[in-house]
Structure 1
Amino acid sequence: MKVPADLLLLPQWVVPVESEGALADHAVVVQDGGILDVQPADAALARYAAAQTLALPGRALIPGLVNLHGHAAMSLLRGFADDQPLTAGLSGRIWLAEKKHVSGAFVRDGTLLAAAEMLAGGITACNDMYFFPQAAGEAFLQAGMRTTLGLFVAEFASPYATDADDYLAKGLAVRDELKDEPLLAFAFAPHAPCSLSDATLGRINTLAEQLGLPIHTQLHETADEIRESLEQFGVRPLERLARLGLLGPNFIGTHAVHVNEAEIESLASRGCHVAHCPSSELKLASGIAPVAGLLRAGVNIGLGTDGAARNNRLDLFAEMRLAALLAKGASGDPAAMPAAAALKAATLGAARALNLDDQIGSIVPGKRADLVAVDLRAPACQPVFDPVSHLVYVAGREHVTHVWVDGKLKLNDRCLVDLDTDDLTARAAYWRTKLTRG
């Protein structure tokens, strides 16, 4: 008697990520939202009686992409402060707009817009950092997207909270309310070291250790940040965090553009992770992160898009390609970040940083069925000698045809299943009008 299953997928290639290369003519079997088996197609068809069998000719089936750093709600600020230095764009436009308009409704609508863009582009999980995390969490749940909600912390007042104690209290309350949602995880998300006192960072560290949560912060993004830390605290930001005890396997430093060799070794020796956001870092002229050096030292790297106000696209296919090319160009080594390493950074590497690598990030039995089908049949994708190389250097998010999160179909033949794109467009237009009026 055949073994029952919910879904049997028959792509041309399965790209497990945990092992090198691609498996041709293999099947992925899904049951109860998880990956039950990965077998040669003929063997799987003989063994399993699936409620649904889906042939995916010319498709590569990959793990869902994991966006390790973003500000989803800022999709409503896409293009709002372009072609300006980071500080000028923030203080002159973004912060003023946020002070006046950011609310639970703003965050909910912006997060839904971002979730639609990410899901359509093969991103099944993200690590979010912004105000009103409860509204963001509700939006991600509505979209059916896996998310690590950042419990944002700052010393400055905002429409969301008045001071660090208020941010922490509200963030912890959100975690308590939503912690049983299977698609949601949580992380402490201090804004940046220079904007937080030693006492606040120490408290975050203590809470993170007690609750077993990652700490996710923006770090060494600009040269100005380094100078400010030296003037204010007498040390560079990373050294300050090390002295305060924050560096360790649960620490995710976003950007890490301006890290020297000693700091790279410090990150590596403590088991820290880096969220590399190449498009954002280039667009803001922050610099080019030393990815080749980080990889050589053994630092785990994941890829992020940053927010749409800083990058404009929530597109991890673009980030994979750019990360690989920049690593080669900056180091002079064409093998600095091979295609397989770029794909791993966008999947298993990011999942590992979030302590989710036992659930997602690769296609192996026992993990959740967060899966993406990428169509490589177009003339621009021919011929296909190496599907992994094509996924990084040739394919784009427009080639994504199907997406599953926890075994549930979210994108069907390039059409979103659960989100109304006309409604999202109308919500975006509403906020554009409000923001334009000031």
Structure 2
Amino acid sequence: MSSLSLRRCLLRVLPILALSSVLSSPAAATLLVKNAQLITVDPVQPVTMSGWFLVGDDGRIAALAAGQPGDEVSADEVLDAAGRIVAPGFISAHSHLYMSPVRGVGFDSTLYGWGRALGPILRRTTGDDIYWFTLHGSLDFLRNGITTAYDFTNSGVNYTPAVGLNEKVPYGVPREGPFEENQIRAKADAGLRFVNSVGLPRVGAPAETRARYENVLTFFNAFARDEPLALKMAISGGVQRAPDIGAAHLEAALMHDHGLINQSHFLESPERVAEQQAKFAWYEEAGALGPQMIFGHFIQVTDAIVAKVAATDSRMCWQPTSNGRLASGIPDVTAYRAAGIKVGIGLDDQSCTDISDPFQNMRIGMYTMRALHSDAAAMPVGDMLFLHTLGSAQILDIDADVGSLEVGKFADFLVVDPRAPDTGPIHNLLATYVLACGLRNLDLVYVGGRRVAAGTTMLSYDESIVRHEVDTRMARIKADIAVSER
């Protein structure tokens, strides 16, 4: 057993009075949170309790217990929660942060029409533009209680539209960059914890495409050595739009050679369903199925596809809000989970969820499942919160670091006040949190024990600078579009 695992076990079984024998020295504790109504989402300890926790100078939870801390427990800063709810930060297991400044485009379209509406804007972005757009999206997430995101990045490659599902011709032309590196920096500059997902645009032969990805991987690994916000790299699977099976083989090779997870937008839209379903066999033939494979959306499925995903321990990521916004359909998540598929939840593209609201996302998902099955128990409140926190961490294989309030994990948490505005008496803490609380009740957001947002005010970055940059850059892009349309 590792020293960290042993320490976590000791802290769970030792009496509170004995904690001083295993805690770090008081000088190493940066934050003490007390008088909290804790929602831990921990499968071992109670999910809810009145208690406290201590954050070490590494940004991780050093101790957590019910009741009050003893006199021997101290820290540089004390947060008296005064009976407010303290819960783990939400995880968006499927996000496109650079899309934050393009809300309101293609607003009455399904997936493909919406994508075409965004094209004239996105094709004109530079690497610097995407840095500021990603920063804008990252701050937006943090303000709304999302402390970790799986981010599909913008590759900075333009394609000529083609006919049919294969909307990208074999080779693309890179725009002025760098793109990928700037998006990594932007998320870290905002203070957002992240999994960085990079696509495999065809910029040449397969070896060139692979080399392009591995260059970004090398940059990320060096960056992450000194940046705990950077959790891991991933692949943005592109088989749904690929012209041939070579894309699946390249993704599978990178997954196996570098131990990468791969999340692929797949079986999302009700358009062109037969073409989408036929390509599932490509992933199977390439050997990509398994715990490293995540299917984003996974709506237009067959029983055989569901059975194969479950049998191989492949995963699924659910986007309740965007599925409704783009009229993509309703994935039967209840049935998927019953089949044994692990499920996470994402806020998806900020231009097709409009408000990055994880509380709304949970409720839309819960209500949809209950209505689909005419069964109020089809998606319990505790399960719904689990999927948007620890469940999402599990499918991304980052649950050793985030997803719940546990000793050894990063102290990424929210302080939520159900009394401001007042939601009434609390009969069940989980029910109040999931069903009655919202962004209006969100008081504070912490990442690694550091306060990054208070109410709607960001503390990690001067937003006036971001807004000026985004507005200026978008004005340039719009002016260029106007000239081209004359």
What is the TM-score normalised by the length of structure 2? Answer: 0.83
Deviations 1:360-380 (A, max 9, x none): 101111111111111211244
Which structure 2 residues correspond to residues 38-437 of structure 1 after superposition, within 5 A?
Answer: 38-42=64-68, 44-91=69-116, 93-99=117-123, 101-131=124-154, 132-155=179-202, 166-180=208-222, 181=224, 182-184=228-230, 185-195=232-242, 197-229=244-276, 236-412=278-454, 414-437=456-479
Deviation at 1:422, TM superposition (A): 1.6
What corresponds to 1:232 in structure 2? none
Amino acid at match of 1:135: N
Contact 1:151 1:168 in 2 (8 A): no
Cα 1:430–1:29 change in 2 (3 A) is: same
Output the CA distance in 1 between the equivalents of 2:205 and 2:418. Answer: 50
1:33 equivalent to 2:59? Answer: yes
Amino acid at match of 2:353: N
Question: Mean Cα displacement is larger for which, 240-249 or 140-149?
Answer: 240-249
Output the CA distance in 2 between the equivalents of 1:35 and 1:269. Answer: 36
Contact 1:22 1:387 in 2 (8 A): no
Output the CA distance in 2 between the equivalents of 1:279 and 1:196. Answer: 29
Output the CA distance in 2 between the equivalents of 1:277 and 1:389. Answer: 21
Cα 1:48–1:278 change in 2 (3 A) is: same
Q: Identity of aligned pairs, percent?
A: 24
What corresponds to 2:3 in structure 1? none
SS of residue matched to 1:57: coil
Output the CA distance in 2 between the equivalents of 1:212 and 1:397. Answer: 37
Contiguous gaps of at least 5 residues in structure 1: 156-160, 230-234
Over the aligned positions, Cα root-mean-square deviation in angstroms equals 2.0
Deviation at 1:124, TM superposition (A): 0.7
Output the CA distance in 2 between the equivalents of 1:396 and 1:430. Answer: 32
Output the CA distance in 2 between the equivalents of 1:225 and 1:214. Answer: 26
Deviation at 1:408, TM superposition (A): 2.2
Cα 1:313–1:49 change in 2 (3 A) is: same
Report the number of matched residues. 425
Deviation at 1:118, TM superposition (A): 0.6
Output the CA distance in 2 between the equivalents of 1:224 and 1:168. Answer: 30
Deviation at 1:78, TM superposition (A): 1.1
Contiguous gaps of at least 5 residues in structure 2: 1-18, 155-178, 482-486
Larger Rg: 2
1:8 equivalent to 2:32? Answer: yes
Deviations 1:281-305 (A, max 9, x none): 1111111111111121121111111
Contact 1:13 1:22 in 2 (8 A): no
What is the TM-score normalised by the length of structure 1? Answer: 0.91
Question: Mean Cα displacement is larger for which, 49-58 or 237-246?
Answer: 237-246
Output the CA distance in 1 between the equivalents of 2:206 and 2:435. Answer: 43
**Structure 1 runs (4+) greater than 6 angstroms displaced:** none
SS of residue matched to 1:8: strand
Output the CA distance in 1 between the equivalents of 2:119 and 2:448. Answer: 36
Output the CA distance in 1 between the equivalents of 2:416 and 2:314. Answer: 31
Output the CA distance in 1 between the equivalents of 2:151 and 2:243. Answer: 19
Deviation at 1:192, TM superposition (A): 4.0
Deviation at 1:167, TM superposition (A): 4.6
Of structures 1 and 2, the one scoring higher in RCO (CA 8 A, sep 6+) is 1
Output the CA distance in 1 between the equivalents of 2:391 and 2:186. Answer: 25
What corresponds to 2:41 in structure 1? 17
Output the CA distance in 2 between the equivalents of 1:212 and 1:419. Answer: 34
Amino acid at match of 1:208: M
Deviations 1:346-371 (A, max 9, x none): 11111111110111101111111111
